[in-house]
Amino acid sequence: MGDQGSARWECELCGEQHEGLATVFGAQAPDPWLQAAPAEREDGELTPDVCVLKIDGEWHYFMRGHIEIPLTDLPGDRFAWSAWVSLSETSMKLAVDHWDGPERGNLAPMFGWLCNELPYGKSTLSIPTHVHQREPGMTPLIQLDPSVPHSLVTEQATGIGMHRLAEINRAVLG
């Protein structure tokens, strides 16, 4: 793979240049938001963590979370896809009502559908998920349905090595 310290990349959050391989990539919004017409976006709302959008006269609710993937070459370290999932109105209301409360991390997992196309050979849209809320200040954890035959699901279950992390960095950063 070569010297991993030679890779330079610009962080979308802080705007600074960093060395090494990036261990978090993600979408700024759910794909339906990105595909919506400007008029549809005007009626909706997008924050760094939640999104509400009216599609064909129906409200849709989205939450950002992390799909964490263990790094097998660095035990204890993880790579994360920061991605968006759709949630029911009831689940979204429950999560938002407890967003800053100490009981947020104790909420039951919430069913959702993955709403971002990630750079895999097979589509990642609509993979079933369970969103696990975590204590305030921590991004929710997205657990993919382990029964779905998809390489992303396998990676979350078994982890990836540094070579695969370098491949992801190349796919995202070019």
Contact 91/109 with Cβ under 8 angstroms? Answer: no
61-114 residue pLDDT tens: 999 999 999 999 888 999 999 999 999 999 999 999 999 999 999 999 999 999
Instruction: Give the residue carrying structure tokens 């700024």.
Output: 28
- What integer is the mean pLDDT of 18-47? 92
pTM of the model: 0.88
Highest-scoring range by mean pLDDT, 1-10, 17-26, 127-136: 127-136
Q: Where are the domains of the chain?
A: 22-173
Residue type, 152: L
Q: What is the mean pLDDT of residues 37-65?
A: 95
Cβ neighbour number for residue 7 with a 10 Å cutoff:
17
- Here the tokens at position 143 are 């657990």
User: How far is Cα 123 from Cα 150, in angstroms, rounded to an integer?
Assistant: 9
pLDDT at position 1 is: 32
Is pLDDT of 14 > 90?
Answer: no
With residues binned 3-state (H G I as helix, E B as strand, rest as coil), the percentages for the chain, rounded to 5, are: 25, 30, 40
Report pLDDT for 21: 87
